Structure 1
Amino acid sequence: MIVRERPNLRTSLNINVVFHLPGSILTPEFVGARTGSYRKADDALMVQVALPWEPPEHMNEYLRGKLELALDETDPWITRRKKSQYDLSALREFVRTLPLEDPPARL
């Protein structure tokens, strides 16, 4: 969904959202979202988001909320690092307008 919708979006900070899925070997050690590593060369910040065991009924709506949570988690990082040049408004608008319909089933 994101790859299909994102080609024309240009931002000052690239956010790489990584979803942590619980499994039989590893389970996320956190709840919600947290910031991870930052790559200055790419202006890319990783934000990790923990997902629950049970998938939600409306997956796209749920994932949109998690992307919004990832952006919310980025705000304190920007403040702590004094990176006021980063404007997340284009990313927030992009996430807000993502389509919510479920993709067609693959055969």
Structure 2
Amino acid sequence: MAQHAPTHSGPVGEIPKPNTAWIWKTFWIISAITALEFLIAYIMPASTLRNSIFIILTIFKAFFIVAEFMHLKHETKGLIWTILIPMALLIWLLVALVTEGNYLGETIQNAFK
């Protein structure tokens, strides 16, 4: 008969060391994206392009957080696409709204000059 009891490789009562490498990798990726955002904020003048870049970088940060800490990268491809397609459409909507809002703001500002 097969033995179903778990086998332990270490001494009884020993707690295995935590594997935190993936947390640090995610931390450094998110930190690099944040540093890039600060660099863009200080170098580029305020514009629709800068706002669009901020939105895209924020979505990248959200992707890494969701993939690592909410374990989305371990799910089936169907579930991942079910989440990513609406997110892509939301990004498109945000970029379109920022662009149109900037145009409307410039139009109103020029009308009163």
More helix by share: 2
Question: Do both proteins adopt the same fold according to a TM-score greater than 0.5, normalized to the shorter chain?
Answer: no
| Interval containing the TM-score (normalised by the shorter chain) | 0.3 to 0.5
- Quick check: which has more Rg, 1 or 2? 2
Normalised TM-score (structure 2): 0.38
Structure with more strand by fraction: 1
TM-score using structure 1 length: 0.40
